[in-house]
Structure formats: structure tokens, C-alpha cells
Amino acid sequence: MDLFKKCYQYDTAKKAREGGYYPYFHELTSKQDTVVHMEGKEMIMIGSNNYLGLTSHPEVIQAAVDATLKYGTGVSGSRFLNGTLNLHKQLEHELATFLNKEDCTIFSTGFQSNLGIISAIAGRNDLIFSDKENHASIYDGTRLSYAETIRYEHGDMDDLEAKLAKAPESKGKLIITDGVFSMSGDIAKLPEIVSLAKKYGARVMVDDAHGFGVMGPTGRGTAEHFGLEKEVDIIMGTFSKSLASLGGYVAAESDVVDYIRHNSRPYIFSAAIPPANTAAALAALHVLQREPERVKNLHDISEYMRQGLKAKGLKIRDSKTPIIPIFTYMPLRTMFACNQLFEEGVYVNPVLPPATPIGECLIRTSYTATHTKEQMDIAIEKIATILKNLEGFEE
């Protein structure tokens, strides 16, 4: 059989394009900001993860430019060999200090961070307990490790405890959870997870990609939000969201981070994060430290939007984060709604199976500290009108 047979037979995307409801790969022709330009249209952007509004911050942009002029466009090698810059070490030190951890090291992407951390830490004699709604990079990281993975029902602490109770004491145990779940906006039940970890001798890893810069009074993340910074063993995060760049990190005890540096294949065998990305993340971290009010502004504008959507009678996933999913239920209705919103100048993201269960499709919206109430009022009206017009839509 021809290996490419499945490629030739795949027609889902083709049908969507021909039907005029394909919602992906729209071209951006401006900076990522609260208002962007895409394919000749001015759009209110409520579909990015630019939580603190720093992708267009002059200080962050200038840092990237200056780093490129000083260091060039890349490092031509891995951190393990020729690819470590003093800028990398500075970012790691400052991140570790900010997160109240002993040490930190950085990866080229957030996805790669989870692959590299999990596959290095968990081995053949270990068990991983993973929330069923964890990010795809966690799923792939557990596959890359040789550990047995045990999934527990989303946010179900009784299910987690039942599975921990069955685990042999001779096995190493790691509980992994998103801090803020990327599709639903749910916050992990971290106090209960930490309590169960202590009871059953497990370690705790939090993927704080959507929690860093978002949760906690100073934006340190989900652990700060719950006052559990000392209780979480491993914190992973990304630079592509609140820190307005590209890359990822792990923060933990010095011995743990040093072990990852010397045993993580995705870390050892990948080129290091480029100078511009490193400098941009560092500059964004400095802005967050200097302007912690951005975190409050983010939550204020998100709550304004949340109440506005509710007032229009829209059914939303009632999160307490800047991620607000709006239920659209069926795939075609979701894609048509997103395309109509695009035509009306509002960018949002469709969430379809397998990212959601069948019949629970969503429009994922997410907000930025620099959004204005005027922008939100326009978006609310357009979302409400378009979804009302699609109420009778049948698949």
C-alpha cells in the first residue's frame, strides 16, 4: 500500500475551503496587538495569547533588535555545546529568582520544554498521573518517556486519589497538570493536588504556559495564586504568551534542573533559543516586574467581557481567567460563526473535536491587558448578533 494513501484521501480541509467555512491560517500583516491587520481587514484580536500586551511594547521590540545586532540571528548549536550565550544565563537566573526557585533552564519552544522535561525526569520505574485535559505537549512528553502514564478525569481529585492509592510505593510518582487549562480556562485544583502528592509520596509538575503573567498578584503564576510556590516541585512555562517571544523554561531545585540539562535529549540535541527571542523575553519579564498592574488590568478587562457576554444571554464556560470559551456545540456552526466574525472584524478561534468532545464545540476567546472597553463592546455586539443569527443552523 502507498504510504501517502491517507494523504490523498484526506479531504476534510478541502471540503471546508470549498464550502467557504475554513477558519485557519489567516495571514497577519501587522504586529500582534489588540487590533491587527489580516488579509486587508482591521480586526479586534480576541484570539491570541498576548496576555500582557507586550508583543508590541517598544522596549521589548528594541531589546530584540539590539540583541540581533550584537549576537547575530542565531547561535548555530545546542546549549550543551557552542550555543550558550551570557544572555541565556541571565534570563535563566532572573526567571529562577522571579519564580522563587533555585534554578532554571530554557528550551527553544514551549512544546519542546514539556517533551524535554518529562522524558528526562520520568523513566521505566516511574508513574505519571496526568489530567485528561492537559496540553498535547504533555501527552507527547509522557509518550517520549518510558514511564507508565495514568490519566485521571479532568479536575477530579477523587479519581486522582483512587489511582494514586493503587500505585506501588516502589514506583516514582509524578503528577502533571496544566495550571490554567488552555481551552477551558479552568484553574487546576492545586491545593488538593499538592495535598495528595504529600500523602502518596508524589512530585508535582505544573505547566504554567497560560498561568505565567496571568495568575497571582505579581503574575508569578498558578502556584503564587494559591500560595504554593514552595510546594510545586517543577514549574514549566513558555515565552510565547505573556513574555511576548518564543521559547520555554523549567524551574525547580538546582539538582533537578542540572539533571535535565545533562539528560534531556530534546534539550541536548536542539539548537538554542536565538538571541532576539531571549532578549525579548528578558525585556518582557522586566516590564512585568516593573508594571504588575498589567495583571490586574488583564483580569479587569476579562471580567468586563465575561459579564457583557452573559448579559447578551450567551452560554460561556465561566472561567476566572482571560480565556473565555463560548459554546457553539457543533463543528459547522462553530466554523461558520468564526468566519462571519472574521468578516465583521473580530478574530476568534474555533475549538473542534478532538480538542473538545463531540457536541461541545467552542469559540475560544482570550484577552489582553491593553484591550479597551470600547473594543470589548464592539466585539460583544458582533458575537451576540452572529450567534443569534445562527441559532437555527443545522449541520
Nearest one of 180, 175, 250 to 209, comparing CA atoms: 180
- The DSSP secondary-structure symbol of 48 reads S
Rg (CA), the chain: 21
Cα 207 to the chain's mean position, in Å? 8
Whole-number pLDDT of residue 395: 59
Predicted confidence (pLDDT) per residue in 84-143, tens digit: 999 999 999 999 999 999 999 999 999 999 999 999 999 999 999 999 999 999 999 999
- HEC per residue, 293-355: HHHHHHHHHHHHHHHHHHHCCCCECCCCCCEEEEEEECHHHHHHHHHHHHHCCEECEEECCCC
Domain ranges of the chain: 9-45+292-389, 58-290
Question: Is-cis flag, bond preceding 354, omega within 30?
Answer: yes
Amino acid at 149: T
Write phi, then psi, for 42 (nearest 5 degrees). Answer: -90, 125
Task: Return the SS3 of 383.
Answer: helix
Cα 59 to the chain's mean position, in Å? 23
Q: What is the DSSP string of 270-300?
A: SBPPPHHHHHHHHHHHHHHHH-THHHHHHHH
Confidence band (pLDDT; 50, 70, 90) for 319?
A: confident
Nearest one of 36, 25, 55 to 369, comparing CA atoms: 55
Confidence band (pLDDT; 50, 70, 90) for 347?
A: very high
CA distance 284 to 297: 16
Amino acid at 311: A
**Is the domain defined by 58-290 classed in CATH 3.30.450.40?**
no
Q: Residue 350 forms beta bridges with which residues?
A: 363
Q: Residue 184 in contact with residue 356, Cβ under 8 Å?
A: no
Confidence band (pLDDT; 50, 70, 90) for 346?
A: very high
Predicted confidence (pLDDT) per residue in 165-219, tens digit: 999 999 999 999 999 999 999 999 999 999 999 999 999 999 999 999 999 999 9
Q: Which residues are catalytic?
A: 182, 210, 241
Whole-number pLDDT of residue 394: 60
Whole-number pLDDT of residue 29: 97
The pairing of beta strand 346-347 with beta strand 41-45: parallel
Whole-number pLDDT of residue 215: 98
How many of the other CB atoms lie within 10 Å of CB of 84? 15
Domain covering 9-45+292-389 in this structure, CATH number: 3.90.1150.10
pTM of the complete model? 0.96
* Residue 225 pLDDT greater than 80, yes or no: yes
Whole-number pLDDT of residue 237: 98
How many of the other CB atoms lie within 10 Å of CB of 2? 7
Q: Residue 328 in contact with residue 395, Cβ under 8 Å?
A: no
Nearest one of 236, 185, 191, 247 to 212, comparing CA atoms: 236
* Residue 270 pLDDT greater than 70, yes or no: yes
209 Cβ contact list (under 8 Å, min separation 6): 110, 135, 178, 179, 180, 182, 236, 237, 238, 241, 248
The least confident of 57-71, 271-285, 312-326 is 312-326
Interhelix angle 275-290/58-71, nearest 10 degrees: 150
The pairing of beta strand 234-238 with beta strand 248-252: antiparallel
Confidence band (pLDDT; 50, 70, 90) for 391?
A: confident
Predicted confidence (pLDDT) per residue in 279-315, tens digit: 999 999 999 999 999 999 999 999 999 999 999 999 9
The pairing of beta strand 41-45 with beta strand 103-107: unpaired
| Cross-sheet strand order for the sheet of 361-366 | 323-329, 361-366, 349-351
Q: Residue 53 in contact with residue 369, Cβ under 8 Å?
A: yes
Q: What is the DSSP string of 221-264?
A: -HHHHHT-TTT-SEEEEESSSTTSSS-EEEEE-HHHHHHHHHH-
Residue 228: which region, alpha, beta or left (left: phi > 0; alpha: psi -120 to 50)? alpha
97 Cβ contact list (under 8 Å, min separation 6): none
* Residue 66 pLDDT greater than 80, yes or no: yes
Cα 312 to the chain's mean position, in Å? 28
Average model confidence (pLDDT) across the chain: 96
CA distance 37 to 60: 21
Amino acid at 192: E
